Structures are given as C-alpha cells and as structure tokens.
Structure 1
Amino acid sequence: MKKVGGSAGAKGVAARVLIHEFGKKSNRPKDPKTSEDEKKKTSRRGEHVINNNVLKVFRTMIDRFAAKIGSNASQLLANKEHTAAYQAYYAPLPEATTQSIRYAMVAHIPEDDHYIDANATAYGAAIGIISETVVTYMYDYYSNNSYNAPVVDRSITDLVRLLNESQLYVDEYAKQYWLHHGGSEALFEESRQQVLHMFRRLCAPTSGENEAKQWVRDLTGHT
C-alpha cells in the first residue's frame, strides 16, 4: 500500500510540474504573433475559443473506466438518468454553455493570418494526465486494489487547479480575434466559469468529496 501510494504521489508531483510549465509557456499577449514556421492553418469551421474537448472529457473518463472493468458506459448508465454519472456523461455543462462553446464562440480567422493555438498541445497533454489520474483513482476505489485516497485525491485537486489557473482550454488567439469581431466578453466569462466549475467537480462538490467517486457508485453500486 505504501509503495503504491508513493508511486502515485511521485506521478502527481511530476504531473503538477509538467502542467505548471505548460501554463507558463502557453501564456501569450492579447495580440499574439508567431513566426512563419509556427503558423497553423485555420479550419474552415472556425477556431473554438474554448476547446471543444471540454464537452466530452468526462464522457471519455467514464468510457475508459467502464472498459477497464469489462463493461461499457451505456450499459452501466441504463435507467440511471438522475445520477451524477449520467449528467457527467451526457450533459456535463448547461445546455446554453454547450451551445456557446460549439457554435457561438468561434473565430473565423483568415487563412493568411499568422495564427497559432498556443494552448492546444499543452491542453492535450494536461487533460491526458488528468484523465489517467482520475480513471486510475476510480478503478482503485472500485476494486480497493492498492487504494490510497489522500495521495491520489490531492493529485487530482492540484492538477485541476493548475488547469483552471492556466486556462489551457482557452485559445487566446481565437478569443482575441473573436472579441475584436463582435464577440461578447460577458458570454466568454460566463462560459469559462461554467467550465472552471465543471472541472472543480472532480475535486470537492457540495457532497464534500470528488465527483469521480460518486461516478463509481452510480455506475457499479459500489459503497
């Protein structure tokens, strides 16, 4: 038990350092510029101000946990519409926020602009670390296999805090372009706050414990 806890703690420290470094490197001025070799081709559908992945990250975590225990999420969530796990899987954010992220907060940047999403790689790496940590936490809680809640739980809390402080899910270039072309600061801030609170649910919701533990209970009946 102690050996596994120490390993989890070491991984948590490494992950926190990595995300912190990503956050520092990803900070860009309000009118970010890049060199020609950093330029990224813009998408025809536009560039999302808040990374679209935030809409499905909880779903991915639950899918991975379900697969890890030899099942699938749709089966485990059948007839459980009023549970936290069901909401996290199908509607992790308010519908208005989901629509804003998908369709309203989109920057249509010209192809000849020197555009780069400075946070894309950092966000992908950070969310990968967080997802792995949460799924491992869920599985260890479910199986009580080398379960060490305080160490792993603290890692999740620290990772989420760093993710939110760095706002790695925000494409700063797209945000500034969108704001300068009719976008609403109030809409962005409302959506950002909803995403921030969504990720915080992995740490300490109103029940006093992280939501990932409740997902396990909802999915498996674990007590």
Structure 2
Amino acid sequence: MFFDDDVRLPLGDLELEAHLALPSRESGVVVFAHGSGSSRHSPRNRRVAEVLRQARLGTLLVDLLTAEEERADELRFDIPVLAGRVAAIVDWLADQPATAHSAVGLFGASTGAGAALLAAAERPAAVRAVVSRGGRPDLAGDALTRVQAPTLLIVGERDETVLDLNRQALDRLRSGKHLEVVPGAGHLFEEPGTLDQAARLAADWFTRNVGTGPAVPPSA
C-alpha cells in the first residue's frame, strides 16, 4: 500500500475528516459521497471501498459535514452545499503531490448520489466516472443533463420507489450510462451477497472508466 492514513481536508474555514488509501502512486481515486446521517465509518461503504482497493483503486472516505453540522441536521439534505464540497475535494486531490496525476471517480450512496452527480457536472474535466448505490440521482435535478462522466446506477430489485426514481434519472443522463438492478436486494443491500455484488459492479465500472491514467486538472 503506497498510502493508507487519516487526513484532514481544509475547505475554507472548515476541516473535513477523511481516510485516504492508495494502493500505488498511479492508482485512480474514488471519492465517497455518503448519504444523510452516514459517515466515513459506514460499514457498507467501507466494504465497497475494500473491494475497490482489491481492484487497485484508491479510495477517499470523507465526512462531507463536520460533527457540529451533523448535530445541527440542517445541511444533510442540502445537495448544492454537499456537491460543492465534493467538487472542492476533487480540487484538493489535484493539488496533492500523491494524487495530482490520479484520475478521479465519485461513488454516491443514498442522497450522496445526488451530490456526486451535481459535482460531476461542475467538474466535467476532472471526474472520469460516477457510481450510485441505492442512490437518489434525481436530487441532482437539471444538472443530470450536464453530467459527462460515464454513470452507473445500482439499485436493489426490492427498492421499488428508488428504482423508479433511478429509471427517470437514467432517461435524463446524456453520457455513457447504465442501470444495474441487483436481484433480491433492498435499499440498504443487507441481503446476503447483495452488497458484494454491488461492490464488484462498482469496481468493474471504475476500473474501466477511471483506471490508472493521469487525471486532467480541474481547471482544464
């Protein structure tokens, strides 16, 4: 492992807690945008991150809100604010010596998927791919039509309401896109084997679209 440690991300007056793991200097990096009420300690996203690292992809598990903001409960569903922080994190990666040449992907779960897609629309040159797991891509609104990164939507077969919202979002996406329905899975992918299936789908998507090629600077 080239790098595996906790880091603090300075964003203006704030510092966000994160954990960065890089299998090698050439690893692409996947930034995790967690859903409301979740954090970098989410066991589901940690499991997905583990599978991605096994595929030689770097991972950045980051809390998009500070502990104080989480307690206030006012920003959990503020998609523009969360997306702005995801975009700032993409910029931060481009400024770090260890990740300056790493391609970047975004992984969003639940409401985090909306933030990830909005950030991808704001950083089209930097974000190579997006994956949503049990997500709410519809929360990205009109920005869906501006997303250029290939996007994979993964939804559980039993998560009927979210599945319908994902089908509607898929119709609005213009770039390379795919909807994968995991048989027998509910919203949280708690059924045996379903989370690992979703993780493998994500790893394959990021490997093909992020890989280990150099990133384009966000200012391009």
Specify the TM-score bucket, using the shorter chain as the normaliser: under 0.3
Which of structures 1 and 2 has the larger relative contact order (alpha carbons within 8 angstroms, sep 6+)?
1
TM-score (norm 1): 0.27
Bigger proportion of residues as helix:
1
